[in-house]
Amino acid sequence: MMRTLLYSLAPNWKSHLPVCTVLGLEEGKECIIVGTLYKHMKLKPCILDEYSKERSTAPLVKPHNFMHQDDYLFLEDESGRVKLGGTMLSPSVYVTGVVIALHGKETTAGDFFVEDVLEAGLPPQIERPLQSREDKYVVFVSGLTVGSGASNPLQFQLLVDHITGHLGDEEEQGLAADIVHLVIAGNSVEISRGLLNGQNLASKDQSRLSEPIKELDILLTQIAASLPLDIMPGSNDPANFSLPQQPLNRCLFPGSATYNTFRSCTNPHCFELDNIRFLGTSGQNINDLTEYSEAKDKIDFLERTLRWRHLAPTAPNTLGCYPFTDRDPFLIGSCPHVYFVGNQEKYETRLLKGSEGQLVRLICIPRFCETGVAVVLNMRNLECHALTFGTQFSS
């Protein structure tokens, strides 16, 4: 899919250059090649290291980031692979799995010297409806981790009371009345792993396992009674591990699932409200990019995935994903108006403008149990702000 797209963009980019395959490269002759990047990483852990006969002195602990200054890139197509040279393409920015077009020539050493780079760029976007007069808000929250030691039940209850209009003065309640949707982006519960050791569970342990989900259901029921909500699974939720994650089973939520406002969704999740297109994940795709590439801010990674037109370029290399054979569910065919990612360290946002007039609001949603921050987006003008909830106990 990406190759066809880049082939169609190449003539407008550099019409005078021929498009070659890796095998068809000729030394010194300038051309365009299209393929998938592969990043050779010195520090990337290999599963075979655990089984190697000579136990290396290198520890098997996982560093936070696997980048090294000696990393280098290859470009692969169906005919072969070639090592990339030149300073145009920084290995720290790209990851294995990105499909791009390169302009350059083969050197005497057999490398491909890159002179220019063409990424797919932002996909086409459906027009935003004419600006309405009224404010309509969508609230995003993630990382509730109900049941963990760090989770503060009162903080979550304050959020629930706020968005259902039970808190604050008239002005606050007026704002709450304009909230039309809530999105919970992953990691809503924490189930103690110590109990899951393959043994039969005693009845008291069974109730301890289900306690966090019951607590979550009680809170979600209060929300579902007053407004529509979408809940997405995250890396720590009781859902399948591989992306795309399937919706959390409705029988986990006997209270809230009785409301037709309650919607259990997949991760990644794509939906439309009033012709505004939302796309988001619970954070696995971006967290994986932070381990294998570098950026100044987390929000840069969101921008890159949109420019590459792919939600999860590192899957299935370093990110678990279901093996699709006929299509790629992570390709971004239509540009969203709002692109959100859950379970990040802090709240970040940016308005991204595309070359064809696309406008995208990028949002990093922080983990609520650590920060007490939810994010509010105004659908009228795509502006957004943070809502912070704090509790202090005086002794």
Tell me whether strands 276-281 and 338-344 are parallel, antiparallel or unpaired. parallel
Q: What pLDDT score does 310 carry?
A: 93
Length of the chain: 395
SS3 call for 117: strand
Q: How confident is the model at residue 192 (pLDDT cuts 50, 70, 90)?
A: confident
| Average pLDDT of span 267-291 | 93
| CA distance linking residue 378 with residue 156, whole number of Å | 22
Residue 47: Cβ within 10 Å count: 6
DSSP secondary structure code for residue 268 in this structure = S
Listed residue (286, 174, 166) closest to 219, CA to CA = 166
Number of alpha helices (DSSP H) and beta strands (DSSP E) in the chain: 7, 17
Q: What pLDDT score does 211 carry?
A: 87
| Average pLDDT of span 96-115 | 91
State whether 362 and 273 are in the same domain: yes
For 128, residues 6+ apart whose C-beta sits below 8 A from its C-beta are: 275, 276, 337, 359
Domain endpoint, select from 118, 149, 164: 118
State whether 90 and 231 are in the same domain: no
Span 309-322, pLDDT tens digits: 999 998 887 888 89
State whether 234 and 306 are in the same domain: yes
State whether 36 and 180 are in the same domain: no
Straight-line distance from the first to the last Cα atom of the chain, in angstroms, rounded to the nearest whole number: 62
| CA distance linking residue 213 with residue 208, whole number of Å | 10
SS3 call for 257: helix
> Tokens in use for 145?
């981790």
Flag whether 21 is in a domain. yes
Is the pLDDT assigned to residue 285 strictly greater than 60? yes
Write the CATH number for 324.
3.60.21.50
| CA distance linking residue 292 with residue 312, whole number of Å | 12
Q: Where are the alpha helices (DSSP H) in the chain?
A: 2-13, 153-163, 170-177, 203-224, 284-292, 298-307, 368-371
State whether 89 and 180 are in the same domain: no
Q: What pLDDT score does 53 carry?
A: 55
What's the pTM value of the predicted model, to 2 decimals? 0.90
State whether 46 and 149 are in the same domain: no
Q: How confident is the model at residue 33 (pLDDT cuts 50, 70, 90)?
A: very high
Residue with tokens 């009680």: 218
260 neighbors 214 (Cβ within 8 angstroms): no
Write the CATH number for 113.
2.40.50.430
Flag whether 74 is in a domain. yes
State whether 313 and 378 are in the same domain: yes
Q: How confident is the model at residue 272 (pLDDT cuts 50, 70, 90)?
A: very high
283 neighbors 186 (Cβ within 8 angstroms): yes
Flag whether 124 is in a domain. no
Q: What pLDDT score does 332 carry?
A: 93
Flag whether 311 is in a domain. yes
Tell me whether strands 99-106 and 112-118 are parallel, antiparallel or unpaired. antiparallel
Span 345-370, pLDDT tens digits: 999 999 999 989 999 999 999 999 99
State whether 188 and 98 are in the same domain: no
Listed residue (383, 387, 395, 393) closest to 371, CA to CA = 387
CA–CA distance from 49 to each of 27, 53, 56, 61 (Å)? Answer: 38, 9, 8, 12
State whether 114 and 148 are in the same domain: no
Flag whether 131 is in a domain. no
Is the pLDDT assigned to residue 191 strictly greater than 90? no
State whether 91 and 163 are in the same domain: no
Flag whether 395 is in a domain. no
State whether 243 and 195 are in the same domain: yes
Tally of structural domains, the chain: 2
The domain of 155 spans 137-388
Q: What pLDDT score does 195 carry?
A: 66
Q: Give the percent of the chain with pLDDT over 70.
A: 91
State whether 143 and 111 are in the same domain: no
| Average pLDDT of span 387-395 | 72
172 vs 249 pLDDT, higher one: 249
284 neighbors 319 (Cβ within 8 angstroms): yes
Q: What is the mean pLDDT of the chain?
A: 88
Span 76-87, pLDDT tens digits: 999 899 999 888
Is the pLDDT assigned to residue 302 strictly greater than 70? yes
73 neighbors 89 (Cβ within 8 angstroms): yes
| CA distance linking residue 227 with residue 181, whole number of Å | 6
Listed residue (388, 360, 375, 358) closest to 137, CA to CA = 375
Flag whether 125 is in a domain. no
| Average pLDDT of span 119-136 | 86
DSSP secondary structure code for residue 94 in this structure = -
Span 194-229, pLDDT tens digits: 666 666 777 777 777 788 899 999 999 999 999 999
Span 36-75, pLDDT tens digits: 999 887 767 766 666 665 555 555 555 567 666 778 889 9
Q: Which of 107-111, 124-128, 181-185, 186-190 has the highest mean pLDDT?
A: 181-185
| Average pLDDT of span 249-269 | 94
